[in-house]
Structure 1
């Protein structure tokens, strides 16, 4: 019987494979613009800071923008693209209708195009701005890895893949696992709700006719539930009414977790984190130790920022349209 010799990779093939591995790990770099646009981060932080002074809602909106961008096609600025006659873009999908402050990214992009034309991607602007709004509101600072390219595809139908405020922990874990993230990342990134506000429509199902056995969600503090019922009456003629997601909504801190311990999570998905053995102990740890939360949040933001990074995209001249 003939013996078939195993195929041996040539030195050239091995070298090419090693190059591919090293390139895949070196897509993003904290010093990516050091030579080509050294003032990039200062331009972005100044733009974000000035916008936040005039509109205190900017920080929460930019942080949410980062999450909603990265969770669909990865961090490729697809959330910034405007709809066209032939395509309804992500920003017009139901979960993204309430995202605002796109003008801040537009402003930063205009200034960057003047300083260093066709260099800084819109995806990197979102990632840097998300870090900046956290840091300027009292949260942690981290080095943003840069070098993302902008995608050319944005579809409103894909926003159905965003985790919903009604998700249970199993659904949340499955959703975040698709992005290569784990349980600790889930709980840490949920802390982004330290900044932000929700309209009644996202949580009012917890307040009335919750189930055949309970009118309100039994996992919610009774007094808190009653206060939300007053803020969100039926019928509700003001669609802008709602609730801040923690009691220090303009400061990035660990109050979000303390409120979950007190059964005052606004979203069902928030409160569910304390009701599941896989996440409960992490919620307790973050509620007790803010510095631990800050470290884990920064690490998870870096991991999320690596999701779906594309090498064959472009650097858009304007963030709202492909080149």
Structure 2
């Protein structure tokens, strides 16, 4: 029995590390997971594309689904993920992988799962695997549900749903390097909570792009990233621009007419640029 599913990456509106409340919106870059169930319950084995990344997260996701369905003693599994998302740059690759794997496992079992339950399994798996600090409920919800959300990550409550028109263009600047959320100095970030709270209130009032920019500038400062690429994108006509997650990627949202200007500015820097758009569609079962 085999199931395949995919889920979106997401871009940060409000990083939840400082206050426990965050926000994100789905982008149309996906992680696809294929789960093949086997008759050997002694082994659940995962592979993260053609990388050396640790597969523990996706392995735990499958194990939790099998336990939830009461068939852990009947099945093992082989899992493989493939991603359009760069890994460990702040685009929710872990949340997307977890969501896709949970849904793919249910597809392999011939069952269905409520979105909220799937998100919860992915978050608990991320805590068990040590890949998250806050639980990343904002990232996981945007990835699974599509669109945007503002959330209380501690209570795992969606405070506001955000519709971001797919006609906007999302540009992503990827400087060299990676950043793993669990390596971040949380105590250093928490003292900025009052500033981040202002950005969060702005997002709840509907100023999503302003909140994204302010949040990005705050976190770039405390995490030691250069904010100039975000400022350059704004100067070139971006509606918003800022650090996503704990970086190092920077996301800009723009109208089509300014896309090439922003790309040209970023292409003058070391690194590469991706172009995508917001996604209203979240996790989905694929045909293989």
Name the TM-score, length of structure 1 as normaliser.
Answer: 0.26
More strand by share: 2
Higher RCO structure (Cα 8 Å, ≥6 apart) = 2
More helix by share: 1
